[in-house]
Amino acid sequence: MVSSRPKKKSHEPVLREEVLKFLDPKPGDVVVDATVGSAGHAAAILKCLGRRGRLVGIDQDPEAVRRAQRKLKGFKGAEVVQSNFNHIDEILERLNLDAVDAVLLDVGLSTEQLEAAGRGFSFLKEGPLDMRMNPEGPLRARDLVNDLSQGELEKLLRAHGEGRWAGRIARAILRRRARQPIETTRELREVIEEAVPRRFHFGRLHPATRTFQALRIRVNDELGALEETLPKALRVLRPGGRIAVISFHSLEDRIVKQAFREGARQGILEILTKKPVEAGPGEVERNPRSRSAKLRAARKAALPGE
Ligand SMILES: C[S@@+](CC[C@H](N)C(=O)[O-])C[C@H]1O[C@@H](n2cnc3c(N)ncnc32)[C@H](O)[C@@H]1O
């Protein structure tokens, strides 16, 4: 019998083969997947680690942790921890791991998070304006939308790439919330659609895309967490160990580029990707999310004689 229930969309790991190439996981290695999500990359890495290898998965979203634990049940060397990845050093210390062979960061959202209407990440799904990856986090998107001043909202949208319409969107938000607070993704989407002239609604991006992305990045302090974590990740790598970072926003990619350059300047890092690696047309067609992915990788300098 053919089921008529629509198939739930699940996350497809981006640039999987390239990640494996740069991290080069080998039997017995210890690897941290600091954004374990739906464990697509983690499962592929674990297959290379053999029986003695270990993979520590981190995610701040408890639903992702449960999903990853289910997916990795068959791998003895896998453990998944719920935490912000900016605690990577403390997590490894607690697990008695002084140094690891590889670290992966695949920042941003998973398909499952985007698809869950109740999380409020998507303007295509009706839900509360929440957007917290960690549901215990202190700030929701509705707090920003209803409490920031017009100037702060405009600045936030502008900083995250909503150049042209930032002022109009901020003004429209203030007008709408003067009547009643904006509480749902649909309400915010309507405000944005009214603020942006109709002839600009049909470009490559929906007019609400950048506003939703800007709010999400601020709610989860995504740039701050990345900036704080990269130096820690480099510290926990053993000499010769490798790091790969996939980002989806130019501000994130800039943070990665600068952290790697600084490491190279200090002589502790060899950059393996002169330019960021992007998905090819085949992958973009199969998985449109990969369109904006940028992968950078580096290797920690080996000790003299290694
Ligand atoms: C793009 S998904 C990762 C998908 C994963 N590589 C896979 O193959 O399934 C990003 C994940 O990172 C998590 N995340 C993002 N920022 C985080 C942070 N600062 N600390 C911990 N987890 C974070 C999100 O909750 C999400 O589950």
CATH (domain of 172): 1.10.150.170
Same domain, 232 and 295: yes
Q: What span, in angstroms and rounded, lies between the C-alpha atoms of 277 and 297? A: 9
- Give the confidence band of 19 by pLDDT, cuts at 50, 70, 90: very high
| Contact call for residues 256 and 296 (beta carbons, < 8 A) | yes
Q: Look at ligand 1, atom 9, and give the residue with the nearest C-alpha.
A: 38
Among 168, 184, 219, give the residue marking a domain's end: 219
Q: Is residue 296, in this structure, part of any structural domain at all?
A: yes
For the cut 50, the answer to whether the pLDDT of residue 2 exceeds it is: no
Q: What span, in angstroms and rounded, lies between the C-alpha atoms of 82 and 66? A: 9
Q: Is residue 93, in this structure, part of any structural domain at all?
A: yes
Nearest to 220 by CA among 128, 125, 86: 86
- Give the confidence band of 5 by pLDDT, cuts at 50, 70, 90: low
Same domain, 213 and 143: yes
What pTM did the predictor assign?
0.94
Q: How many domains are contained in the chain?
A: 2
Q: Is residue 130, in this structure, part of any structural domain at all?
A: no
Q: Is residue 124, in this structure, part of any structural domain at all?
A: no
Nearest to 110 by CA among 7, 41, 12, 243: 12
Same domain, 49 and 195: no
- Give the confidence band of 1 by pLDDT, cuts at 50, 70, 90: very low
Quick one: pLDDT at residue 3? 47
Q: Rounded to whole angstroms, what are the CA distances from 175 to 51, 186, 212?
A: 60, 16, 18
- Residue 201, helix vs strand vs coil: coil
Tell me, using a 6 A CB cutoff, whether residue 140 lines ligand 1. Answer: no
Q: What span, in angstroms and rounded, lies between the C-alpha atoms of 55 and 53? A: 7
Tell me, using a 6 A CB cutoff, whether residue 59 lines ligand 1. Answer: yes
CA 85 / ligand 1 centre spacing (Å): 9
Among 219, 244, 266, give the residue marking a domain's end: 219
CA 179 / ligand 1 centre spacing (Å): 36
pLDDT in tens, 33-74: 999 999 999 999 999 999 999 999 999 999 999 999 999 999
Among 219, 244, 277, give the residue marking a domain's end: 219
Same domain, 247 and 273: yes
Using a pLDDT cut of 70, give the percent of the chain over it: 96
pLDDT in tens, 101-139: 999 999 989 999 999 999 999 999 999 999 999 999 999
pLDDT in tens, 88-101: 999 999 999 999 99
Instruction: Give the atom of ligand 1 at the shortest distance from the alpha carbon of 225.
Output: 19
Task: For residue 57, report the phi and psi dihedrals to the nearest 5 degrees.
Answer: -100, 140
Tell me, using a 6 A CB cutoff, whether residue 67 lines ligand 1. Answer: no
Same domain, 240 and 260: yes
- Residue 131, helix vs strand vs coil: coil
CA 109 / ligand 1 centre spacing (Å): 6
Same domain, 150 and 179: yes
Same domain, 232 and 160: no
Q: What span, in angstroms and rounded, lies between the C-alpha atoms of 237 and 99? A: 5
pLDDT in tens, 166-208: 999 999 999 999 999 999 999 999 999 999 888 777 777 788 9
Q: Is residue 120, in this structure, part of any structural domain at all?
A: no
Same domain, 193 and 262: no
Q: Is residue 54, in this structure, part of any structural domain at all?
A: yes
Q: Print the domain residue range for 293.
A: 16-112+222-300
250-265 vs 222-236: helix axis angle to the nearest 10?
Answer: 30
For the cut 90, the answer to whether the pLDDT of residue 305 exceeds it is: no
Mean pLDDT of 127-155: 97
Task: Provide the CATH number for the domain around residue 105.
Answer: 3.40.50.150
Q: What span, in angstroms and rounded, lies between the C-alpha atoms of 86 and 59? A: 10
Instruction: Please tell me the least confidently modeled range out of 7-11, 38-42, 227-231, 287-291.
Output: 7-11
Same domain, 31 and 107: yes
